[in-house]
Amino acid sequence: MSSLRSLGYAISRSTALLIAALLVLGVLVAGVYYYTRAPPAPSGVPVQKITIITTTEAEDPARWAAIQAIAAEWRKLGFDVEVVGLEASMVDKKCYYEWDFDVCVFGWGARVDRLDPNLFLGLITTEEIGAKGEGANNPTGYSNPEYDRLHDLQRKTLDINERRRIVFELQRIFHEEAPRYNIYHMHSIVAYRADKWANPVIMPGAPLFNEWQPYFITPTAGGMQELIYGSNTEPDTLHPVKASLIFSWYVLKLVYDPLVRLTPEGKPIPWLAEEVKVIDPTTVEVKLRGNLRFHDGKPLTADDVVFTYKYYIKNEFAYFRPYWRNVEDVVKVDDLTVRFKLKTPDATFMTNSLYMIPILPKHVWENVDPKAVTEEQLKELLKVGSGPFKNPVWVRKEYIAVEVAPEHFAYKGVRIGDFEVPPVKVSKIVIRIYGDLDGVVSGLIRREIDATAVSILPGHVDVLAKYDYVKIIKARNFALNADLMFNVRRSPFDIKEVRQALLYAIPYDYIVNVILKGYGEKGYIIAPVNGFWHNPDVKAYEYNLEKARELLAKAGFQWDDKGKIYYPAGFTPRKQEDP
């Protein structure tokens, strides 16, 4: 009997061990299955293709290469990305006027007035959205009442240190909300013929092609000489009420004078004005120089100044809104005196409003509808300016030319306070248009041109260094060379975490060190070189693909077994036509 019990015990024990082993094996098999099977199918809808619009490779090879590198990284996050290259004027039209984009990467040049932070920080204000077709400065559609309040406050704050504190806070919000983001500041690299010219004046962001160059650059042969620039881009228009590209204004600043100019260091000085007097925080009086003349010989008086500012305000061209929006009224005091009444105190009025609006001849423009001007009419209108150069001729894709105006008050030089303006030494300025930057560099080597009107590429430095008659100038920059804009009217860009994730998925070091060959730095809205206004506590985004994925997952995005990204469950993607 005990033997039977022993046998039964042995059988039961063996059975139990077998069952236990099978259970363990089952758990292991189930575990292996669990960890190797495909992830659950996403319950949301797939994210649509993202199209990035930017300038062509010929117009800006560095920007084009950077966008290609960015698109490759965004694809690693599961996005379907396409890059479309257009001419600069078409990018401007598509993005700023039509709002027909997902992501747009364009640029803002470093014109000297933009050292003041007002314009760049205003690029995401609600007021700068404007109306579709208007071409205002904020095509992203982003709106933030608190940001708007602070931006308005910094502009009217006359205490510079308090204004700086507000500007710092605006940069923090701009960076965190990220409706747009400057990817890099590319160093300015320009070159000129040292065998023909000496002592060029160097301005921030516009080292060679700037409004002061005709006064300072000196022909080595003496006398008056033609100054020939080379460029791979050209204006959108020379219409002084509609032009929006910075290159257009580099030309127009030669043909039309403002009341105030900014020195190469950015200091405002009276120009057409003889004196600018602050009567009280909201009243500014401008007294004109005597005997000012337009190019047709007619006198330039207070009537022209009053007409010009009211003309710009009446026609509401969006590009100029930051410069006239705080002007409540402009009145004539006498033939040479104008009084501006401001809505609020304005820390930017001198450097922006009095500098950026060109004085137009009333007798030429008063019956002109600026929206209806034809190309032929514009040629006639441009014959009557007030600047140091006149008679502009523009043959598209070939050249632009202006000739010196000997009747201009500064032709023989003028002293304004402690700033000495030398006599003009340039008889004519010609800008030859090339198909790409390689053509510009070749033109300089062949001595077809005297200087580059645009910044050239790091790869051109070694090429030009072989020629002893070529002088190369390199400088840090505060331009927004790759201003990446998200259209927040469309999903997924209306989700802050998506915008931040896409910014974490940009290979900044690769762009700066490889594409720019070290001739640049990571981007900000207010560049580090603009030291007083730059907020050093706002750190640039760093490349971190893992962080990007975490942000997307936190926002509820999912991926399928092929890595394609899907919207969160139940999320209805917003389309631009939605209110």
How far is Cα 433 from Cα 230, in angstroms, rounded to an integer?
A: 6
**Tokens for 32?**
């292996």
Q: Is the pLDDT of residue 9 over 50?
A: no
Residue type for position 38: A
Mean pLDDT along residues 328-345? 97
How far is Cα 402 from Cα 453, in angstroms, rounded to an integer?
A: 15
**Tokens for 432?**
């030859």
How far is Cα 542 from Cα 535, in angstroms, rounded to an integer?
A: 17
- pLDDT category at 41 given cuts 50, 70, 90 is confident
The residues near 446 (Cβ < 8 Å, ≥ 6 apart) are none
Q: Which strand (E) or helix (H) includes residue 380?
A: helix 375-381
More confident residue, 38 or 275: 275
pLDDT-above-90 percentage for the chain? 84
**Tokens for 104?**
């747009």
How far is Cα 470 from Cα 550, in angstroms, rounded to an integer?
A: 51
The answer to whether 303 and 363 have CB atoms below 8 angstroms apart is no
More confident residue, 5 or 347: 347
**The CATH number of domain 190-252+387-474, selected from 3.30.70.580, 1.20.20.10, 3.40.190.10, 1.10.10.410:** 3.40.190.10
How far is Cα 358 from Cα 345, in angstroms, rounded to an integer?
A: 22
Residue type for position 472: I
Residue-level pLDDT at 47: 97
> Structural domain boundaries of the chain?
50-186+478-566, 190-252+387-474, 257-373
Residue-level pLDDT at 203: 85
Residue-level pLDDT at 76: 98
327 closest CA partner among 311, 347, 308, 313: 313
Mean pLDDT along residues 25-33? 39
The answer to whether 208 and 195 have CB atoms below 8 angstroms apart is no
Our CA angle for 533, 258, 156, nearest 5°, is 40
Q: Is the pLDDT of residue 30 over 80?
A: no
How far is Cα 414 from Cα 411, in angstroms, rounded to an integer?
A: 8
564 closest CA partner among 50, 47, 40, 35: 47
**Tokens for 71?**
């698109």
The answer to whether 308 and 286 have CB atoms below 8 angstroms apart is no
The answer to whether 258 and 354 have CB atoms below 8 angstroms apart is yes
The residues near 172 (Cβ < 8 Å, ≥ 6 apart) are 535, 537, 538
Is the Cα dihedral 496, 499, 505, 510 positive or negative? negative
The answer to whether 94 and 86 have CB atoms below 8 angstroms apart is yes
Q: Is the pLDDT of residue 4 over 70?
A: no
User: CA distances (Å), 215 to each of 153, 289, 415, 431, 569, in order?
Assistant: 38, 20, 12, 17, 65
The residues near 468 (Cβ < 8 Å, ≥ 6 apart) are none
- pLDDT category at 38 given cuts 50, 70, 90 is low
- Name residue 261's beta-bridge partners: 269
DSSP assignment letter at 96: I
The residues near 113 (Cβ < 8 Å, ≥ 6 apart) are 119, 262, 266, 351, 352, 355, 356
Q: Is the pLDDT of residue 25 over 80?
A: no
Residue-level pLDDT at 21: 41
The answer to whether 565 and 551 have CB atoms below 8 angstroms apart is no
Is the Cα dihedral 324, 484, 534, 458 positive or negative? negative
The answer to whether 77 and 501 have CB atoms below 8 angstroms apart is yes
Distance linking the first and last C-alpha atoms of the chain: 90
Q: Is the pLDDT of residue 491 over 90?
A: yes
Q: Could you please report the per-residue DSSP string of 43-61?
A: SSPBPPPEEEEEE-TTT-H
Lowest mean pLDDT among 204-208, 279-283, 456-460, 504-508: 204-208
How far is Cα 481 from Cα 521, in angstroms, rounded to an integer?
A: 11
Q: Is the pLDDT of residue 395 over 70?
A: yes
- pLDDT category at 577 given cuts 50, 70, 90 is low
495 closest CA partner among 400, 568, 565: 568
φ, ψ dihedrals at 330, nearest 5°: -130, 125
Mean pLDDT along residues 58-86? 97
Quickly tell me which residue has 């009145």 as its tokens.
Answer: 331
Quickly tell me which residue has 């994730």 as its tokens.
Answer: 501
- pLDDT category at 356 given cuts 50, 70, 90 is very high
Mean pLDDT along residues 567-571? 94
- pLDDT category at 353 given cuts 50, 70, 90 is very high
The residues near 132 (Cβ < 8 Å, ≥ 6 apart) are 97, 98, 99
Q: Is the pLDDT of residue 477 over 50?
A: yes
532 closest CA partner among 117, 72, 197: 117
Q: Could you please report the per-residue DSSP string of 300-368?
A: P-HHHHHHHHHHHHHHT-GGGHHHHTTEEEEEEEETTEEEEEESS--TTIIIIIHHHSPPPPHHHHTT-
Q: Is the pLDDT of residue 579 over 90?
A: no
Residue-level pLDDT at 113: 87
Q: Is the pLDDT of residue 550 over 60?
A: yes
123 closest CA partner among 558, 528, 525, 531: 525
| Architecture of domain 257-373 in this structure | Alpha-Beta Complex (3.90)
Residue-level pLDDT at 446: 98
The answer to whether 103 and 52 have CB atoms below 8 angstroms apart is yes
Q: Is the pLDDT of residue 193 over 50?
A: yes
DSSP assignment letter at 230: E
Residue-level pLDDT at 36: 44
- pLDDT category at 39 given cuts 50, 70, 90 is low
Q: Is the pLDDT of residue 535 over 60?
A: yes
Check: CATH 3.10.105 for 50-186+478-566?
Answer: yes
Q: Which strand (E) or helix (H) includes residue 558?
A: strand 558-559
Average pLDDT, the chain: 91
